[in-house]
């Protein structure tokens, strides 16, 4: 594949823009997987094997990825929308290359796999793989999501039992149950859900006569939010991370 086409596929602009980056000497390529020092390439039409290619654009290291899979530690007071109404968009936390990766249709770049409310923090996945988004978001696949819930009033055994047995939300006659639920401490509830209704955690907690004061998603499937990923930071999902997602285990992670 031509180098300009590789850069285009990774979101560095139109083919003309990518060719300009190369011709200006702003692109360097690692000649092999063992290479430590990249080599400047000035030919936009130079041919490379895209799979496994590592390169630098304006001094920043990148690796070719046919599809992008990333995790973000969503901070509070941010919106999971390209066009936020009140708070900054979570997409402003990402580099432009991830936001501009070409896709079929009008949509560009990675998209959030589901949404978190503006005041909810924690693990958020983003990708440009539509099939992955469907598999992780569809209620038919029952992917467990673990939430750390801080509540206003002391937790009662009755409330935990009700959440496990099922509650009825104010505008939905269908009973909604927690896949798992435990009182970690007097005001800390750990709740696992396998579907994602609007404001579901807050409404379920309200249905058992309590109130959510803070909400944090710590886990999706078998993937936990790493302790060393600070709010607002992102990282690529590794092959091991993707394997954990495929396993979809809901076992509580050691770092929650």
Closest CA to 27 of 75, 60, 65: 60
Closest CA to 63 of 140, 16, 9, 19: 9
Are the beta carbons of 146 and 241 closer than 8 angstroms?
Answer: no
5 in catalytic set: no
State CA 208 to chain mean position distance.
Answer: 30
CA distance 195 to 233: 26
| Residues linked to residue 159 through DSSP beta bridges, in sequence order | none
Closest CA to 185 of 146, 151, 219: 151
Residue 159 contacts by C-beta under 8 Å, 6 or more apart in sequence?
A: 208, 209, 210
CA distance 65 to 10: 7
In angstroms and rounded to an integer, the radius of gyration of the C-alpha atoms of the chain is 21
CA distance 38 to 237: 24
Are the beta carbons of 80 and 221 closer than 8 angstroms?
Answer: no
- Which of 117, 129, 170, 227 does the annotation list as catalytic? 117
| Residues linked to residue 215 through DSSP beta bridges, in sequence order | 120, 149
Are the beta carbons of 209 and 240 closer than 8 angstroms?
Answer: no
Residues annotated catalytic, as ranges? 117
């Amino acid at each position: 594949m031509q180098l300009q086409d590789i850069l285009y596929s990774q979101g560095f602009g139109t083919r003309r823009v990518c060719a300009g980056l190369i011709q200006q000497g702003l692109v360097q390529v690692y000649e092999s997987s063992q290479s430590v020092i990249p080599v400047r390439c000035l030919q936009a039409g130079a041919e490379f094997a895209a799979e496994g290619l590592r390169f630098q654009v304006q001094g920043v290291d990148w690796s070719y990825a046919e599809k992008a899979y990333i995790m973000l530690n969503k901070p509070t007071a941010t919106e999971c929308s390209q066009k936020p109404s009140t708070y900054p968009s979570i997409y402003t936390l990402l580099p432009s290359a991830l936001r501009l990766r070409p896709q079929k249709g009008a949509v560009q770049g990675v998209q959030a796999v589901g949404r978190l409310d503006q005041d909810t923090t924690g693990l958020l996945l983003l990708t440009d793989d539509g099939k992955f988004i469907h598999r992780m978001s569809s209620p038919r696949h029952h992917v467990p999501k673990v939430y750390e819930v801080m509540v206003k009033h002391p937790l009662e055994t009755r409330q935990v039992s009700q959440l496990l047995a099922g509650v009825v939300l104010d505008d939905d006659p269908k009973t909604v149950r927690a896949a798992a639920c435990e009182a970690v401490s007097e005001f800390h509830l750990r709740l696992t859900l396998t579907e994602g209704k609007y404001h579901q955690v807050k409404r379920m907690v309200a249905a058992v006569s309590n109130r959510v004061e803070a909400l944090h998603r710590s886990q999706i499937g078998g993937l936990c939010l790493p302790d060393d990923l600070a709010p607002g930071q992102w990282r690529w999902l590794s092959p091991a991370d993707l394997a954990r997602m495929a396993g979809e285990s809901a076992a509580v992670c050691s770092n929650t």
